[in-house]
């Protein structure tokens, strides 16, 4: 029977140190302690009966599958990265197409609104012209009253040599520099006869006279 340390016994039997301790606890191996150090007592022939191939011989074999496994993982990672790059490229392309579509849609909408604005302007101009040519109600004329007055009064102030010229009563009184009191009397006088006097043109609340065509001495003096 030979005496050896735990480490030597593990190496001799081809097992781990933990396996030696387990055998000692189970009683399959004898042990003793000298100077605080535990030794294992092995019988002659035990080593050959329990001897196993050293673990080092398996080390190379164990590493070979790991190497192939890591290589496989690297190949899979590379394929996955290629797919990620492809998807990112497709995503970028789709984003650019979306932005282009939004720009085109915005231009189209702006054009539609611009065309609608032009149509609305044409309609309003047509309505205004119709109001000027027809005899609109007081409510409609009030809205276009300033346009009518501006159109009529934009002409040069009528002179005695000119004909068919209209001038607003308000402008005439202002140009002639009548006093406020006299202007009010004249306005009241014209207002009373405006509806039945053919010499007076009434648009809304405005009254127009033609000094070159008619005599208004009965109203203006």
Please tell me the predicted confidence (pLDDT) of residue 87.
Answer: 92
Same domain, 128 and 63: yes
Asked if residue 142 belongs to a domain, the reply is no
- 207 and 174 in a single domain? The answer is yes
pLDDT at 64: 55
Domain range for 13 is 2-50
72 and 45: one domain? no
| 146 falls within a domain | no
* CATH at residue 22: 1.10.10
Q: 3-class SS at 18?
A: helix
- Residue with more model confidence, 108 or 159: 108
**Quick one: pLDDT at residue 143?**
47
pLDDT digits (tens, 9 = 90+) for 19-48: 888 888 888 888 888 888 888 888 766 554
The answer to whether the beta carbons of residues 171 and 153 sit under 8 Å apart is yes
Instruction: Say if residue 64 is in the same domain as residue 112.
Output: yes
* Whether 73 and 89 share a structural domain: yes
Nearest to 140 by CA among 188, 78, 203, 51: 203
Shared domain check, 39 and 74: no
| Within-domain flag for 143 | no
Across the range 118-147, mean pLDDT stands at 59
Domain count, the chain: 3
122 in the same domain as 60: yes
Is 65 found in the same domain as 29?
no
Q: What is the mean pLDDT of the chain?
A: 76
Region of poorest pLDDT, from 6-15, 52-61, 111-120, 203-212: 52-61
What's the pLDDT tens digit per position in 140-171? 444 444 554 554 444 444 444 433 578 899 89
Specify if 107 maps to a domain.
yes
Is the pTM above the cut of 0.85?
A: no
The angle formed by the CA atoms of residues 31, 33 and 38, to the nearest 5 degrees, is 70
Averaged pLDDT for residues 90-112 = 88
CA–CA separation, 186 and 173 (whole Å)? 9
Q: What is the pLDDT of residues 35-89, one digit of tens each?
A: 888 888 887 665 544 544 445 544 444 445 678 888 888 888 888 998 898 898 8
Do 130 and 161 fall within a single domain? no
Pair (71, 130) in one structural domain: yes
More confident: 91 or 165 = 91
* Across 177-186, average pLDDT: 91
Is residue 115 one of the residues assigned to a domain?
Answer: yes
For position 134, what pLDDT does the model report?
A: 53
112 confidence band (pLDDT: 50, 70, 90): confident
Q: 200-205, long-range: CB within 8 Å, 24+ apart, which pairs? A: 201/166, 203/141, 203/145, 203/148, 203/149, 204/138, 204/141, 204/142, 204/145, 204/148, 205/138, 205/142, 205/145
């Amino acid at each position: 029977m030979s005496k050896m340390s735990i480490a030597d016994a593990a190496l001799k039997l081809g097992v781990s140190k933990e396996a030696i301790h387990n055998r000692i606890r189970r009683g399959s191996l004898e042990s003793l302690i000298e100077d605080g150090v535990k030794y294992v007592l092995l019988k002659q022939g035990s080593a050959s009966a329990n001897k196993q191939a050293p673990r080092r011989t398996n080390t190379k074999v164990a590493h070979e599958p790991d190497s192939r496994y890591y290589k496989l993982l690297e190949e899979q990672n590379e394929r996955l990265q290629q797919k990620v790059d492809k998807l990112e490229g497709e995503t970028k392309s789709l984003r650019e197409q979306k932005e282009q579509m939004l720009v085109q849609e915005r231009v189209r909408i702006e054009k539609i609104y611009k065309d609608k604005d032009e149509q609305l302007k044409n309609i309003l101009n047509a309505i205004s012209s119709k109001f000027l040519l027809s005899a609109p109600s007081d409510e409609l004329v009030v809205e276009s009253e300033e346009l009518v007055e501006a159109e009529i009064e934009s002409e040069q102030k009528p002179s005695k040599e000119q004909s068919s010229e209209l001038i607003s009563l308000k402008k005439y009184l202002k140009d002639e520099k009548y006093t406020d009191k006299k202007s009010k009397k004249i306005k009241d006088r014209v207002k009373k006869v405006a509806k039945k006097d053919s010499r007076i043109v009434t648009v809304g609340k405005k009254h127009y006279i033609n000094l070159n065509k008619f005599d208004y001495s009965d109203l203006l003096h």
